[in-house]
Amino acid sequence: MYAAVENGAKGLVILGPGAASVPPSAAVVAADLFEKGIPTVAAPRPATGAGVPHPVPGPLIYSSYLSGEQARIMLQLAINAGYDLEQVRDLFESQLRSAVYDPAANQKFYYPS
Protein backbone atom coordinates (compact mmCIF):
# COMPACT_ATOMS: atom_id res chain seq x y z
CA MET A 1 0.00 0.00 0.00
CA TYR A 2 2.83 2.36 0.85
CA ALA A 3 4.55 1.48 -2.43
CA ALA A 4 1.43 2.35 -4.41
CA VAL A 5 1.27 5.77 -2.77
CA GLU A 6 5.01 6.33 -3.30
CA ASN A 7 4.44 5.59 -6.99
CA GLY A 8 1.74 8.24 -7.26
CA ALA A 9 -1.54 6.65 -6.13
CA LYS A 10 -3.87 9.28 -4.68
CA GLY A 11 -6.28 6.67 -3.30
CA LEU A 12 -6.53 2.91 -2.86
CA VAL A 13 -9.21 0.25 -3.20
CA ILE A 14 -8.69 -2.99 -1.26
CA LEU A 15 -10.70 -6.12 -2.02
CA GLY A 16 -11.50 -7.96 1.19
CA PRO A 17 -13.13 -11.34 1.79
CA GLY A 18 -16.76 -11.41 2.84
CA ALA A 19 -18.13 -8.00 3.75
CA ALA A 20 -14.96 -6.15 2.73
CA SER A 21 -13.01 -7.15 5.82
CA VAL A 22 -9.31 -6.35 5.80
CA PRO A 23 -6.48 -7.82 7.88
CA PRO A 24 -5.33 -5.79 10.90
CA SER A 25 -2.03 -4.93 9.23
CA ALA A 26 -3.86 -3.35 6.27
CA ALA A 27 -6.14 -1.45 8.65
CA VAL A 28 -3.07 0.05 10.37
CA VAL A 29 -1.64 1.17 7.02
CA ALA A 30 -5.04 2.55 5.98
CA ALA A 31 -5.16 4.60 9.20
CA ASP A 32 -1.70 6.00 8.50
CA LEU A 33 -2.63 6.87 4.91
CA PHE A 34 -5.91 8.43 6.11
CA GLU A 35 -3.89 10.77 8.35
CA LYS A 36 -1.91 11.77 5.24
CA GLY A 37 -5.10 12.48 3.27
CA ILE A 38 -5.08 9.32 1.14
CA PRO A 39 -8.50 7.57 1.03
CA THR A 40 -8.55 3.78 1.29
CA VAL A 41 -11.79 2.13 0.17
CA ALA A 42 -12.57 -1.45 1.23
CA ALA A 43 -14.72 -3.36 -1.25
CA PRO A 44 -16.10 -6.91 -1.00
CA ARG A 45 -14.29 -9.55 -3.04
CA PRO A 46 -17.42 -11.69 -3.77
CA ALA A 47 -19.51 -10.76 -6.78
CA THR A 48 -22.48 -9.99 -4.54
CA GLY A 49 -22.52 -8.51 -1.08
CA ALA A 50 -21.77 -5.25 0.63
CA GLY A 51 -19.01 -3.51 2.51
CA VAL A 52 -21.10 -2.26 5.42
CA PRO A 53 -19.64 0.77 7.20
CA HIS A 54 -19.06 0.63 10.95
CA PRO A 55 -21.31 2.69 13.27
CA VAL A 56 -18.44 5.08 14.00
CA PRO A 57 -16.48 6.15 10.91
CA GLY A 58 -12.86 5.05 10.94
CA PRO A 59 -9.92 5.33 8.56
CA LEU A 60 -11.34 2.76 6.12
CA ILE A 61 -14.09 3.84 3.77
CA TYR A 62 -16.48 1.02 2.84
CA SER A 63 -17.78 0.69 -0.71
CA SER A 64 -21.33 -0.29 0.29
CA TYR A 65 -22.79 -2.29 -2.63
CA LEU A 66 -20.14 -1.35 -5.17
CA SER A 67 -17.73 -3.96 -6.50
CA GLY A 68 -14.00 -3.32 -6.48
CA GLU A 69 -14.05 -2.19 -10.10
CA GLN A 70 -16.96 0.19 -9.53
CA ALA A 71 -15.34 1.54 -6.36
CA ARG A 72 -12.09 2.21 -8.24
CA ILE A 73 -13.90 4.23 -10.90
CA MET A 74 -15.93 6.17 -8.32
CA LEU A 75 -12.80 6.90 -6.28
CA GLN A 76 -10.97 8.13 -9.40
CA LEU A 77 -13.84 10.46 -10.23
CA ALA A 78 -14.05 11.76 -6.66
CA ILE A 79 -10.31 12.45 -6.44
CA ASN A 80 -10.27 14.20 -9.82
CA ALA A 81 -13.31 16.26 -8.78
CA GLY A 82 -11.36 17.48 -5.74
CA TYR A 83 -13.34 15.68 -3.01
CA ASP A 84 -11.80 15.67 0.47
CA LEU A 85 -11.79 12.57 2.71
CA GLU A 86 -15.18 13.24 4.30
CA GLN A 87 -16.80 13.93 0.93
CA VAL A 88 -15.37 10.65 -0.38
CA ARG A 89 -16.74 8.86 2.72
CA ASP A 90 -20.18 10.40 2.20
CA LEU A 91 -20.13 9.44 -1.47
CA PHE A 92 -19.51 5.77 -0.64
CA GLU A 93 -21.17 5.28 2.75
CA SER A 94 -23.94 7.81 3.39
CA GLN A 95 -26.92 5.93 1.92
CA LEU A 96 -26.10 2.53 3.42
CA ARG A 97 -25.03 4.08 6.74
CA SER A 98 -28.37 5.87 7.10
CA ALA A 99 -30.30 2.75 6.05
CA VAL A 100 -28.53 0.60 8.64
CA TYR A 101 -28.00 2.93 11.59
CA ASP A 102 -30.66 5.68 11.43
CA PRO A 103 -34.11 5.10 12.94
CA ALA A 104 -36.57 3.66 10.48
CA ALA A 105 -38.87 6.18 8.84
CA ASN A 106 -41.90 4.14 9.81
CA GLN A 107 -40.66 3.16 13.28
CA LYS A 108 -43.52 5.02 14.99
CA PHE A 109 -46.06 2.66 13.41
CA TYR A 110 -44.44 -0.40 14.94
CA TYR A 111 -43.23 1.04 18.24
CA PRO A 112 -45.68 3.66 19.50
CA SER A 113 -44.32 5.92 22.20
| pLDDT digit string, tens, across residues 37-87 | 999 999 988 877 788 888 888 899 999 899 999 999 999 999 999 999 999
User: What domains lie within the chain, and their CATH numbers?
Assistant: 2-98 (3.40.50.40)
Cα–Cα distance measured from residue 63 to residue 96, given in angstroms and rounded to the nearest whole number: 9
Closest to 13 measured CA to CA, from 37, 54, 43: 43
| Predicted local confidence at residue 107, as pLDDT | 60
Backbone angles phi, psi at 90, to 5 degrees: -60, -40
β-bridge mates for residue 13, sequence order: 41
- pTM for the model stands at 0.84
> Hey, is 32 helix, strand or coil?
helix
| Predicted local confidence at residue 99, as pLDDT | 79
